[in-house]
Amino acid sequence: MKNRNYLVHIAGVTAMIIWGLSFIWSTQVYRNLNPTATIFLRLVVATVFFTAILFIFKLNEKIERKHLGLFALAAMFEPFLYFIFEGYGLKNTSPIIGSAIIAMIPLVTPIAASVFLKERLTPMNIVGLIVSFLGVMVMLMNKNLEFVASTKGVIFLFCAVLVAVGYSISLAKLTKLYKPLTITWMQNIVGMIYFIPLTIIMEQFEPSNFANVGGYIVPLVCLGVLCSAIAYSLWAFSFSRLGASRANVYTNLIPVFTGIFSFILGIEALSSNKILGIVLVVVGLIFAQLKKKEAKS
C-alpha cells in the first residue's frame, strides 16, 4: 500500500514537470501555428497515440451512453475552453508569467467549492489567495510599478484558471466511474471534435505556417504525447487517489519547473521580480493548503 502511495505522488510530480515544460513547448510552436491549430494538432497526436496504446494492450473500457454528457461537459471545460484561454494567454505573455497565473488553480478551487458545493471557505484560503495574487502582480510589474505583460494575455490566463476549476468538478465525478486512461482518451477525442470548426474559422483570421514543419514538429509531438496523453493520465490517476484539494496542490510546482527550464534553455531570464513573484505564488498556495489540512485535524 505504501508503494502505491509513493506512485501516486510520483505521478503527480511527474505530471507537473511535463506541464511546466508545456509552456515552453507551446511558445515554440506558436511561432509557426496559431493557438487553435496548435491545440487541434496536439489533440490529434494525443488521440492517435492513446488509441494505439489502449487497443494494442487491450486496455480499452466500454463507455456507457448515459455518461457521454458528462464527458462532453468535461471536454468542453478542458481541453476546449481551457486550451483556448491558455493558448491566447501564452501568445501574449511569457512562459513564466503564464505558469504562475495558472498555478493559482488550487486556491481558486476551494472558492468555487464553497459556492457550488457549499464547502466552508477558511480564512487561510483567503490569505493564501491574497499572497498568491500579490505574487502574480509582482511578476507583471517592473520597478516603476508599470505592467510589463499584456493585459489581454493576463485576462485570458485568468479565464483559463476559472475554466480549470470547472473541469476539476467534472473530473471528480468521472474518476469514480472510469479509469484514468479512459477519461483522458475520451476527453481528447471530444476536445478534438470541438476544435475542428474553430480551427477552420481561426485559420481565416490567423493563417498558420504549416509548411515550416521542421520548426514545430518536435515540440508539437511533445505537447501531444507527453502533455495531452501521459501527463493527463498521470494527473487523473493522482486525482482519483488524492481528491481535488490534495491533488491540486501539485500545480504549485508548475511555475517553479517552468522558470527553471526557461532559465536552463536560455529562453527567459529569471529577474529578481519574477523570482520573488514565483516564491509568493508558491508560498501563498502551500500555506493555504497546509493550514486547511490542519483545520481538519
pLDDT of residue 95: 83
At 278 the pLDDT is 78
The per-residue pLDDT for 198 is: 94
Which of 168, 140, 170 lies closest to 154, judged by CA? Answer: 140
Per-residue pLDDT of the chain (297 residues; tens, 9 = 90+): 445 678 888 898 899 899 989 989 998 999 999 999 999 999 999 999 989 988 888 888 889 999 999 999 999 998 899 989 988 888 888 887 888 788 777 777 767 766 765 656 667 767 777 787 787 777 777 666 666 678 888 899 999 999 988 887 788 788 889 988 888 899 999 999 999 999 999 999 999 999 999 999 999 999 999 999 999 889 888 888 877 666 766 777 787 788 888 888 887 777 788 788 878 877 876 776 554 444 443
Beta bridge partners of 141: 147
Burial grade of 22 (CB within 10 A; 0-12, 13-18, 19 or more): buried
Instruction: Give residue 113's pLDDT.
Output: 64
Interatomic CA distance for residues 5 and 3, integer angstroms:
5
Predicted local distance difference test score (pLDDT) of residue 29: 95
Instruction: For residues 275 and 100, give the distance between their C-alpha atoms in angstroms, rounded to a whole number.
Output: 11
Q: State how far the Cα of 201 lies from the Cα of 95, in Å rounded to an integer.
A: 26
Sequence-ordered strand ranges (E) for 83-133: none
